[in-house]
Amino acid sequence: MPSALIEATEHQARARVALTAALESGPSHAYLFRGPRGSGKRATARALAAEILAAGAPDPEDARRRALLDPSPHPDLVWLAPRGAQHLVEEVRERVIRAAAYRPFEGARRVFVVEAAEAMRDESQNALLKTLEEPPEFVHLILLSSEPEALLETIASRCQPVEFAPLPAAVLEAELAGTGESEAEVAAAARLAGGDLERARLLLTPRGRELRREAERCVGAALAAELADSPWKQVLSEAEGAGADAEEETRAALEEEAKAGLKRTARDIADEAKRAGRRRRTEILDLGLELCGLWLRDLAALASGAEEVVFDRDRLDLLRSQGAGIDPAKARQGAELVAATRRSLDLNVGEELALEALFFRLERLFA
């Protein structure tokens, strides 16, 4: 098995077995890599694409080397990632659907990778369907998705699924070792991330640390019946700040591309930047709520005498202080209320009102 693919699937045994068999028998025309963010889907897709392009290339080693670069200069590797909250319909049509009709520039095959495939609108997915049903013999598509349930069934059913599991906390700890953070904080980030290496790294940044503090403060205020200063507003403020930063970064990147000759109107740039900002804002708000739920989960664990399973291992003193005398069943019920609020936000309910209602419910629960 190629070394790059071995490395990419080091902690994904099922994916390794499936892709090893695929390379031996001949790769499928379409794959759907399913699994959480940070589980290695992107690296595995790049390694698989490199092997597909190396087969039949005039110089296999050179083709493999160029395909593994990020970004890749290989003309037969097309990598599509959403700039904002969604893939642009025209970009999917132009860079994947229409481009798939052209023969390889070199070698025998072309590979198209669609990152965050769930971010394709239904229009894009329906347009892609014909390419999946009747692809040219030289075309291979790899769709990556952290939310495969958001894909149309007609899309998913025409791809060979490859499953990626969340990375174990011990693996994340090893990846994060040497960052200069305390062992306790690294252990906490690894467990709170739920198998997502990118999220674990975020939790060790100033913004991630602040988000954790605000989540802990919100739950503590509900436990102490001290909600007069609306602590949930700080969680919303952190999400707003993250969204604004993402919008500005996206706008700057798109403007640089426009200067380099990529055709984009000022309106396109503004719209894409806003979508990126909204997407990041939503991610950080959801993470803040998830951290509230995990804090309640840890309070329940401590109250049940199961300190060894606590995630927030660097905050044990605060957990003990907040959780003195708490009913573990109520703490678990509180975590369920948080989960219900997270689900409600998917329905476009008012965020500030939803958070206000949540924490007053928690206050009544623990009164």
Q: What is residue 256's predicted lDDT score, i.e. its pLDDT?
A: 82
For residue 71, whether the previous peptide bond is cis, meaning omega lies within 30 degrees of 0, is yes
Question: Alpha helix (H) ranges present in the chain?
Answer: 3-8, 13-25, 41-54, 60-68, 89-92, 122-133, 153-156, 169-176, 183-192, 197-203, 206-223, 232-259, 266-303, 316-322, 328-345, 351-366
> Of 132, 163, 194, which residue constitutes the final position of a domain?
163
Say yes or no to pLDDT of 70 above 90. no
211 and 108 fall within a common domain? no
Range of the domain at 283: 205-366
On whether residue 78 sits in a domain, the answer given is yes
On whether residue 257 sits in a domain, the answer given is yes
Q: What is residue 3's predicted lDDT score, i.e. its pLDDT?
A: 79
157 and 211 fall within a common domain? no
Residues in the chain: 367
Q: Amino acid identity, residue 293? A: G
Q: Which CATH number characterizes residue 11's domain?
A: 3.40.50.300
Q: What is residue 278's predicted lDDT score, i.e. its pLDDT?
A: 87
Say yes or no to pLDDT of 231 above 60. yes
What's the whole-number mean pLDDT along residues 359-367? 95
- C-alpha separations of 99 from 12, 78, 119, 136 in Å: 32, 9, 20, 11
149 and 234 fall within a common domain? no
215 and 362 fall within a common domain? yes
What's the whole-number mean pLDDT along residues 230-255? 92
On whether residue 113 sits in a domain, the answer given is yes
270 and 348 fall within a common domain? yes
Indicate the number of domains in the chain. 2
What's the whole-number mean pLDDT along residues 250-262? 80
> Of 135, 163, 191, which residue constitutes the final position of a domain?
163
222 and 344 fall within a common domain? yes
On whether residue 171 sits in a domain, the answer given is no
110 and 245 fall within a common domain? no
Q: What is residue 258's predicted lDDT score, i.e. its pLDDT?
A: 77
Q: What is residue 1's predicted lDDT score, i.e. its pLDDT?
A: 56
On whether residue 192 sits in a domain, the answer given is no
Q: What is residue 240's predicted lDDT score, i.e. its pLDDT?
A: 96
15 and 152 fall within a common domain? yes
> How does DSSP classify residue 66?
H
pTM for the model: 0.76
Q: What is residue 175's predicted lDDT score, i.e. its pLDDT?
A: 87
Q: What is residue 154's predicted lDDT score, i.e. its pLDDT?
A: 94
On whether residue 172 sits in a domain, the answer given is no
Phi/psi region, residue 348 (left: phi>0; alpha: psi -120 to 50; beta: rest), is left
345 and 287 fall within a common domain? yes
Structure tokens at 24: 């031996």
More confident residue, 293 or 90: 293
360 and 214 fall within a common domain? yes
On whether residue 324 sits in a domain, the answer given is yes
- Per the CB < 8 A criterion, the answer to whether 271 and 84 are in contact is yes
The structure tokens 């003309």 sit at: 75
What's the whole-number mean pLDDT along residues 204-217? 95
132-183 pLDDT tens trace: 999 999 999 999 998 899 899 999 999 999 999 998 999 999 988 877 678 9
293-352 pLDDT tens trace: 999 999 999 999 999 999 999 999 999 999 888 999 999 999 999 999 998 887 767 899
238 and 147 fall within a common domain? no
145 and 289 fall within a common domain? no
Q: Reduced to 3 states, what is the DSSP secondary structure of residue 333?
A: helix
On whether residue 97 sits in a domain, the answer given is yes
Half-sphere exposure of 148 (CA within 13 A, CB side): 20
> Of 133, 163, 193, which residue constitutes the final position of a domain?
163
